[in-house]
Amino acid sequence: MANETTSSTVSELYTEIVAEAEFVIQEKSIMKNLVKNYTIAGGGKTVEVPIYSAIAAAAVAEATDLSNTAVNPTSVSITASEVGVMTTLTDLARNSAPRNVAADIGRLFGEGIAKKMDQDLIALFDGFSTTLGDGTTAIAASSIFNAASTLRASGLPVEECFCILHPKIAYDLKANLTNTFANPNAGDLQNEALRSGYVGQLAGISVFETSNMSDTGTAGDYKGAVFHRDALALAMMQDIKIETQRDASLRADEIVATAVYGVGELHDSYGVELHFDSSIQ
């Protein structure tokens, strides 16, 4: 069989594999905790998320009836699908390994599914109608403030908003903040960026970096975003699940990890795409 891990049963390793995979997927997935989460339950693989438009109040005179305001929500349909990964662990490989095979497999499976989940959510950034940058220039601190002003103008609290950037795009943001890493006395934010490489908060928005995004086809050209938590949604039907199957003739065990989820955009006006080009490619 191709793609085997070469070098008894895996039942004694099962619990450890599951524990490690569940821990890693929580730690490695940035996007999961930054978007609206739903659970698909009760049959079917689709969830309908109601979307309510804003309601305006008006002044009313004393002893005057209020006029009726219709509340007619639209909805976004999110359909779940499967993602998965499998490896074949031979008895010889497991018994002769100097490392903890269960922890290694759990970590790799958790990382793989967490990365796929992030990539699927990050791909939704391209759907935001409001865009800053055209993929030809480097990002600057002013870009984050511009995006923040757009979201504030929509009535969104920035403390519930996040910024996601590729590390090579974040490099230019840090360079802009610190005068190309040469001005250590400009302020606390600049000093922290110089000391630890972490931007932290800018314009009241938490800034995160992740490599779980692909370029647009042009080297160094990445699409990040600033968005409110309610802009995007993750609908979980099944969190990571580990199963094993014994192949006696191969003297090995198939180990399979799967998850079932869907992603979708809820509020287009709650996000701003950041389309910038890295100066360090």
**pLDDT score of 63:** 84
pLDDT at position 22 is: 67
Q: pLDDT tens, position by position, for the chain (281 residues)?
A: 455 544 444 445 556 666 666 666 665 678 988 999 999 987 789 988 888 877 778 888 888 888 888 887 888 999 999 999 888 888 887 777 666 776 777 778 888 888 899 999 999 999 999 999 999 999 999 999 999 999 999 899 988 999 999 999 999 998 888 765 555 555 665 555 445 445 678 888 989 888 889 888 888 899 999 999 999 999 999 988 888 888 899 988 888 889 999 999 999 999 999 999 999 87
H helices of the chain, in order, are 11-28, 91-96, 101-122, 141-153, 167-177, 188-196
Q: Which fold has domain 4-51+69-277?
A: Major capsid protein gp5 fold (3.30.2400)
Q: Are 160 and 228 in contact (CB under 8 A)?
A: yes
> What are the residue ranges spanned by the domains of the chain?
4-51+69-277
> For the whole model, what pTM was predicted?
0.82
**pLDDT, position 162:** 93
Give the pLDDT of residue 180: 55
* CB 279, CB 136: distance < 8 Å: no
Q: What is the pLDDT of residue 98?
A: 67
Choose among 87, 106, 94, 97: nearest CA to 16: 106
Give the model's pLDDT for residue 183.
55
